[in-house]
A = this chain, B = another copy of it.
Amino acid sequence: MATEGANGVEINGASAEKKAVVFTAVKPQLFVESSKASDAVAFYKAAFGAEELNRVSHPKRKADQELPLLLSAEIKLGSTSILISDLSDDSTAPVKTASSGLVFCLETEDVEAAVDMAVKAGAVADGEISEGEGTCCGGRVGKVKDPYGIVWVICTPAKKFANVEA
Protein backbone atom coordinates (compact mmCIF):
# COMPACT_ATOMS: atom_id res chain seq x y z
CA MET A 1 0.00 0.00 0.00
CA ALA A 2 2.91 2.29 0.68
CA THR A 3 4.14 2.08 -2.89
CA GLU A 4 4.51 4.78 -5.49
CA GLY A 5 1.26 6.60 -5.89
CA ALA A 6 -0.80 4.99 -8.61
CA ASN A 7 -2.21 8.40 -9.31
CA GLY A 8 1.03 10.26 -9.06
CA VAL A 9 0.16 11.86 -5.78
CA GLU A 10 3.16 13.33 -4.09
CA ILE A 11 2.87 14.92 -0.72
CA ASN A 12 5.47 17.11 0.76
CA GLY A 13 4.46 18.39 4.14
CA ALA A 14 1.18 20.22 4.00
CA SER A 15 1.07 20.77 0.27
CA ALA A 16 -1.16 18.56 -1.79
CA GLU A 17 -1.43 20.72 -4.85
CA LYS A 18 -0.44 18.21 -7.46
CA LYS A 19 -3.61 16.17 -7.36
CA ALA A 20 -6.28 17.24 -4.99
CA VAL A 21 -8.16 14.52 -3.21
CA VAL A 22 -11.64 15.79 -2.68
CA PHE A 23 -13.72 14.53 0.19
CA THR A 24 -17.40 14.93 -0.51
CA ALA A 25 -18.49 13.91 2.96
CA VAL A 26 -16.96 13.34 6.37
CA LYS A 27 -19.07 11.29 8.71
CA PRO A 28 -18.11 10.25 12.20
CA GLN A 29 -19.23 6.68 12.81
CA LEU A 30 -19.86 5.65 16.39
CA PHE A 31 -19.83 2.02 17.33
CA VAL A 32 -21.87 1.05 20.36
CA GLU A 33 -22.15 -2.21 22.19
CA SER A 34 -24.24 -4.67 20.17
CA SER A 35 -27.29 -4.47 19.92
CA LYS A 36 -27.67 -1.03 21.41
CA ALA A 37 -27.31 0.99 18.22
CA SER A 38 -31.04 1.10 17.65
CA ASP A 39 -31.57 2.40 21.18
CA ALA A 40 -28.81 4.92 20.62
CA VAL A 41 -30.51 6.26 17.51
CA ALA A 42 -33.75 6.67 19.43
CA PHE A 43 -31.84 8.42 22.16
CA TYR A 44 -30.17 10.87 19.78
CA LYS A 45 -33.55 11.69 18.29
CA ALA A 46 -34.95 12.47 21.71
CA ALA A 47 -31.87 14.10 23.16
CA PHE A 48 -30.72 16.24 20.27
CA GLY A 49 -33.59 16.21 17.82
CA ALA A 50 -31.57 14.16 15.38
CA GLU A 51 -33.26 13.05 12.20
CA GLU A 52 -32.81 9.50 10.95
CA LEU A 53 -31.84 9.49 7.29
CA ASN A 54 -31.49 5.79 6.66
CA ARG A 55 -30.89 2.51 8.39
CA VAL A 56 -29.15 -0.63 7.19
CA SER A 57 -29.49 -3.87 9.08
CA HIS A 58 -27.38 -6.94 8.60
CA PRO A 59 -29.31 -9.16 6.19
CA LYS A 60 -28.06 -12.46 7.62
CA ARG A 61 -28.79 -11.58 11.17
CA LYS A 62 -32.45 -11.01 10.60
CA ALA A 63 -33.37 -14.68 10.56
CA ASP A 64 -31.34 -15.53 13.61
CA GLN A 65 -32.10 -12.78 16.04
CA GLU A 66 -35.01 -10.72 17.08
CA LEU A 67 -32.90 -7.62 17.22
CA PRO A 68 -31.22 -7.14 13.89
CA LEU A 69 -27.63 -6.10 13.96
CA LEU A 70 -27.59 -2.49 12.89
CA LEU A 71 -24.83 -2.10 10.34
CA SER A 72 -25.36 1.59 10.29
CA ALA A 73 -28.01 4.17 10.83
CA GLU A 74 -27.31 7.62 9.51
CA ILE A 75 -28.63 10.46 11.60
CA LYS A 76 -28.52 14.13 10.81
CA LEU A 77 -27.66 16.56 13.54
CA GLY A 78 -27.51 20.15 12.38
CA SER A 79 -25.95 19.76 8.97
CA THR A 80 -23.73 16.88 10.05
CA SER A 81 -24.31 13.21 9.37
CA ILE A 82 -23.29 10.77 12.06
CA LEU A 83 -23.38 7.00 11.59
CA ILE A 84 -24.37 4.78 14.49
CA SER A 85 -23.46 1.10 14.29
CA ASP A 86 -23.56 -2.01 16.39
CA LEU A 87 -20.09 -3.24 17.17
CA SER A 88 -19.75 -6.83 16.05
CA ASP A 89 -17.18 -9.49 15.38
CA ASP A 90 -18.11 -10.25 11.81
CA SER A 91 -18.41 -6.71 10.53
CA THR A 92 -15.70 -4.46 9.28
CA ALA A 93 -15.98 -2.56 12.51
CA PRO A 94 -12.69 -1.87 14.21
CA VAL A 95 -11.91 -3.30 17.56
CA LYS A 96 -12.30 -0.91 20.41
CA THR A 97 -10.18 2.07 19.66
CA ALA A 98 -7.75 3.41 22.16
CA SER A 99 -8.01 6.99 21.09
CA SER A 100 -7.16 9.60 23.65
CA GLY A 101 -10.60 11.01 23.62
CA LEU A 102 -13.46 12.35 21.64
CA VAL A 103 -16.29 14.69 22.37
CA PHE A 104 -18.83 16.24 20.08
CA CYS A 105 -19.28 19.97 20.25
CA LEU A 106 -22.79 21.13 19.56
CA GLU A 107 -23.24 24.81 18.96
CA THR A 108 -26.59 26.32 19.76
CA GLU A 109 -27.98 29.64 20.88
CA ASP A 110 -29.85 28.09 23.78
CA VAL A 111 -27.52 25.97 25.85
CA GLU A 112 -29.97 25.58 28.74
CA ALA A 113 -32.75 24.24 26.53
CA ALA A 114 -30.40 21.88 24.75
CA VAL A 115 -28.92 20.48 27.95
CA ASP A 116 -32.37 20.15 29.42
CA MET A 117 -33.63 18.23 26.41
CA ALA A 118 -30.67 15.88 26.50
CA VAL A 119 -30.99 15.25 30.23
CA LYS A 120 -34.70 14.53 29.93
CA ALA A 121 -33.89 12.01 27.24
CA GLY A 122 -31.47 10.19 29.53
CA ALA A 123 -28.15 11.96 29.29
CA VAL A 124 -26.34 12.89 32.48
CA ALA A 125 -25.31 16.49 32.99
CA ASP A 126 -21.63 16.85 33.75
CA GLY A 127 -21.30 19.91 35.94
CA GLU A 128 -23.24 23.14 35.71
CA ILE A 129 -23.66 25.31 32.68
CA SER A 130 -21.04 28.00 32.88
CA GLU A 131 -19.14 30.54 30.91
CA GLY A 132 -16.61 28.53 29.01
CA GLU A 133 -12.94 29.13 28.78
CA GLY A 134 -12.21 28.01 25.39
CA THR A 135 -11.86 24.37 24.62
CA CYS A 136 -14.41 24.43 21.87
CA CYS A 137 -16.42 27.59 22.46
CA GLY A 138 -15.94 30.76 24.39
CA GLY A 139 -19.53 31.34 25.38
CA ARG A 140 -21.86 29.43 27.65
CA VAL A 141 -20.95 25.78 27.92
CA GLY A 142 -22.79 22.76 29.22
CA LYS A 143 -21.66 19.18 29.08
CA VAL A 144 -23.64 15.96 29.06
CA LYS A 145 -22.63 12.33 28.83
CA ASP A 146 -24.96 10.07 26.93
CA PRO A 147 -25.83 6.49 27.91
CA TYR A 148 -23.33 5.19 25.36
CA GLY A 149 -20.32 6.90 26.82
CA ILE A 150 -20.10 9.83 24.43
CA VAL A 151 -19.55 13.29 25.86
CA TRP A 152 -21.38 16.16 24.18
CA VAL A 153 -20.26 19.70 24.83
CA ILE A 154 -23.16 22.06 24.21
CA CYS A 155 -22.18 25.66 23.80
CA THR A 156 -22.88 29.01 22.26
CA PRO A 157 -20.52 30.05 19.53
CA ALA A 158 -20.77 33.70 20.55
CA LYS A 159 -17.60 35.51 21.48
CA LYS A 160 -15.67 32.42 20.70
CA PHE A 161 -12.01 32.53 21.47
CA ALA A 162 -12.36 36.07 22.75
CA ASN A 163 -10.39 35.30 25.90
CA VAL A 164 -7.48 33.54 24.31
CA GLU A 165 -4.99 34.66 21.78
CA ALA A 166 -4.99 33.16 18.35
Chain A contact residues, CB within 8 Å of chain B: 1-2, 5-7, 9-11, 13-14, 16, 19-33, 42, 45-49, 54-59, 71-72, 77-80, 82-83, 85, 87, 91-110, 112-117, 119-121, 125, 128-129, 132-136, 141, 143, 148-151, 153, 157, 161, 164-166
Contact = CB atoms under 8 A, between A and B. Distances in A.
Contact of A22 (B9, B104, B109): B109
Contact of A157 (B10, B25, B78, B87): B25
A132 B95 CA distance: 18
A72 B128 CA distance: 22
Contacts of A24: 78, 107-109, 157
Given A164-B56, A166-B56, A104 B27 contact: yes
26 contacts: A1-B119, A7-B116, A9-B116, A10-B120, A11-B117, A11-B121, A13-B45, A25-B79, A25-B157, A26-B79, A26-B80, A26-B107, A27-B136, A28-B105, A29-B102, A31-B100, A72-B134, A83-B105, A83-B136, A87-B100, A92-B141, A94-B151, A96-B101, A97-B101, A97-B149, A99-B149
